[in-house]
Amino acid sequence: METVELLKSIPMFRELNHDELSHIGQVIIERRFDKKSVIFHEGESKEAVFFIKEGLVKTFKTDENGHEQIMSFLKRGEMFPHTGLFNNKSYPATSEALLHTALLAIPVKSFESLLLEVPSMAIKIMRVMSDKIQELQGKLQELTGQDVHDRGQSFILKMAEYYGTVKGDEIHIPFPMTHQDIANVIGTTRETVTRLLNQLRKESILDADRQGFVIYSLEGLRNWKKR
């Protein structure tokens, strides 16, 4: 796929004209990462802004005790980092490729120049940042306002909404995650996640392994109550 056509497939660039896309294409560098490889570490000097061409990426922060708090999961077409673009000189979180992943990287200085030259792109960036802030605020409210059962249920429903593919009567979420990954998202222990998933399996609502989820009954998941 030619660079211009590839850029058109990224939501943030869709409304740009051919000349603007060609200009962006001149500063883009394609980078590839193997599964489970780190793209950048929290605190490292910020060198580039990334757009996902293919693959899956997770971003997370680590506390002083080494505990991982997952901030987001990102799929094809999404940009990262999406916070601290204009006031930080270091990456705000660590990012890791969950699958073999191809990224389009734009050096920070080139990216800043693009935002000055293409105002419509700057507006879209601000919208993305606003959406991510709202997402983080919602996540904090969930962590403080729900018990672990409800947080787990909400997390799987959101994964189905954003990443699920309907196949017959099932919803497939091809997102490789360990029980510890899920625990790090919803703020609980791996053992608790294992118990939650085992209960959902027992009730034939879903199945899960390291390759992702298969939801057999979305309505059953929505109406699932604690036992």
Segment 177-198, tens digit of pLDDT: 889 988 888 888 999 999 999 9
Please report the DSSP string for 108-131 in residue order: HHHHHHHHHH-HHHHHHHHHHHHH
Q: Are residues 84 and 168 in the same domain?
A: no
- Between CA 186 and CA 149 the distance in angstroms is 10
Number of domains in the chain: 2
C-alpha neighbours within 13 Å on the C-beta side of residue 75: 10
Q: Which of 142, 172, 191 is the last residue of a domain?
A: 142
Coil/strand/helix, residue 209: strand
Domain extent for 95: 1-142
Distance CA 188, CA 149 (A): 10
Report the C-alpha gap between 134 and 138 in whole angstroms.
6
Q: What is the mean pLDDT of residues 37-52?
A: 93
* Burial of 109 per CB tally in 10 Å (0-12, 13-18, 19+): exposed
CATH number at residue 151: 1.10.10.10
170, 184: one domain:
yes
Kindly tell me the sign of the dihedral angle through the C-alpha atoms of 109, 114, 119, 122: negative
HEC secondary structure over 41-59 = CCCCECCEEEEEEECCEEE
Cα torsion 67, 225, 222, 203 to 10°: value is 90
SS3 state at 198: helix
pLDDT band at 175 (very low <50, low <70, confident <90, very high): confident
| pLDDT of 143 over the 80 cut | no
Whether residue 176 is found in the same domain as residue 135: no
* Tens-digit pLDDT profile for residues 98-117: 989 999 999 988 888 888 88
The residue among 142, 170, 199 that closes a domain is 142
Residue 174 is predicted with a pLDDT of 85
pTM: 0.73
| Residue 142 confidence (pLDDT) | 61
Instruction: Give the span between the Cα atoms of 114 and 116, in whole angstroms.
Output: 5
Decide if pLDDT at 220 tops 90.
yes
Question: Which of the four pLDDT bands, split at 50, 70 and 90, describes residue 139?
Answer: low
What is residue 14's predicted lDDT score, i.e. its pLDDT?
A: 74
Whether residues 55 and 158 share a domain: the answer is no
- For the record, the structure tokens of 151 come out as 């947080």
pLDDT digits (tens, 9 = 90+) for 53-85: 899 999 999 888 888 888 888 888 888 987 666
Query: Which CATH number fits the domain that encloses residue 120?
Result: 2.60.120.10
For all residues of the chain together, what is the average pLDDT? 84
